[in-house]
Structure 1
Amino acid sequence: MNPYDILGVSPSATDDEIKKAYRALSRKYHPDANVGKPGEKAAEEKFKQIQQAYTQIMKEREQGYRSYGYQQTGQTAGGDTDTIEMQAAANFINSRRFREALNVLEGIHNRNSQWYYLSAIANAGMGNNIKAQDMARQALNMEPNNSQYQMLWQQLQSGRQWYGNMAGSYGRQTMSMDNFCCQMLALNMMCGCCCGPC
């Protein structure tokens, strides 16, 4: 089961929101709070699920923070919430969970160049190549000298050109890429984007 569902929070929830939900559920289902009550065993099992879900979420987020070179400390208000959510999106991308990354990105209000970059990767991973190219172009327009954005743009463009050439030979429309091509492109991008800080 999805650990976010167990805690009753969204993947875009901040670390503080997750901790708050975890504490509330832990108090409710703690074995000491349910001694002698009907459903004591069910409460104990639920308590174990809550512990496992919280541990899993926090480990995934911490891994994402390290993988993408973010600093978690001192981020508590305003635009800082967007930074934590960006970290969560990057973690989902790192885990190849592109749908969840897009869900988190949708909730972010500060749409800077990094937002467009991550959105491009997640969309490419989902097979939304045209949207991925639009997002990559926007990231590159905002930071034209960023080498990661340049590389992503080139990868997306070369994938489109290759498929466009092949499509003409087989009578396919040139506006979309087949699923295999999208998967290979996403794999290439993941190799390029996970080896250094964003």
Structure 2
Amino acid sequence: MRDPYEVLGVQRGATQEEIKKAYRKLAKQYHPDNYVNNPLADLAAEKFKEINEAYEQLSSGNQGGQNSSYQQGQGSGAGNFAQVRNLINMNRVDEADAILDQMRDRPAEWFFLKGNVFMRRGWHAQGLNFMQQAVNMDPHNTEYRTTLNQYMNQTRQYREVGNNMGGGGPDACDCCQGLLCADCCCECMGGDLISCC
């Protein structure tokens, strides 16, 4: 692997905050979602992976050493958080969730990533709760606050669309219940509306 400082574009001896800032900027720039249906998608994915590995190596306290950035055991902090971010970005949420569940320390970053896992699974209520906890624990973190606001706006939009499409009217459950009742009535009369039940 190339020198992690070079990959992230920071100088040796950079603070963890400078490393994190550089990582976030590059991760946002080379995120795979930005290259959907783009001939450069493979190159961007490789660069994104390299950025994540460099960040993991530097944030794990293994500044430029020869050892793998994955050497720290389960339950450690920043390095595994970078790995979890990478897995979430690749939509491998089950693996990310398993790593998070094994961690003993649960700082704001842990709640933020756990919230992202829930949101990716479509479990919006749980996701928003974890995101809110991350913001409460680290109220000055703009990434946490921005992401929470984006998810809240998305959730609000889903509700509005549902309400504008006849919310309060019959939904799928009502339709199925009606069909099952009609099938029972037909069967009592010697017919069969739904042949499989």
Normalised by the length of structure 2, the TM-score is: 0.49
Structure having greater relative contact order (Cα 8 Å, sep ≥ 6): 1
Q: Which has the higher helix share?
A: 1
Normalised by the length of structure 1, the TM-score is: 0.49
